[in-house]
């Protein structure tokens, strides 16, 4: 239920003040899986090759708004 609320929050356009853990939870809920980590970058990929990868990065425990916008666009475009 929590992931559904986070998804609604993101689709409503709220991309600020997200904890990094909430962003990761939503990525997993939308069927992205963590495939690799490069430094502070965590790369999530989807089984569907048409869905773009999502890069999430923690900045003082918060998810970056620009990365949340990219996730929002992918969710809307591909109906995740």
Which pTM was predicted?
0.89
**2-78 CATH fold:** Metal Transport, Frataxin; Chain A (3.30.920)
What would the pLDDT profile of 1-11 be if each residue is shown by its tens digit? Answer: 598 999 999 99
Q: How confident is the model at residue 79 (pLDDT cuts 50, 70, 90)?
A: confident
Residue 9 CA to residue 23 CA, distance in Å, equals 11
Measured between its terminal Cα atoms, the distance across the chain in Å is 16
* Cβ pair 80, 70 in contact under 8 A: no
The predicted model gives 50-66 an average pLDDT of: 93
The predicted model gives 40-59 an average pLDDT of: 93
């Amino acid at each position: 239920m929590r992931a559904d609320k986070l998804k609604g929050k993101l689709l409503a356009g709220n991309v600020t003040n997200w904890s990094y853990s909430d962003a990761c939870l939503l990525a997993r809920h939308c069927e992205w899986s963590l495939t690799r980590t490069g430094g502070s970058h965590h790369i999530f990929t989807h089984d569907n090759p048409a869905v773009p990868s999502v890069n999430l990065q923690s900045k003082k425990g918060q998810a970056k708004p620009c990365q949340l916008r990219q996730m929002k666009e992918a969710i809307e475009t591909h109906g995740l």
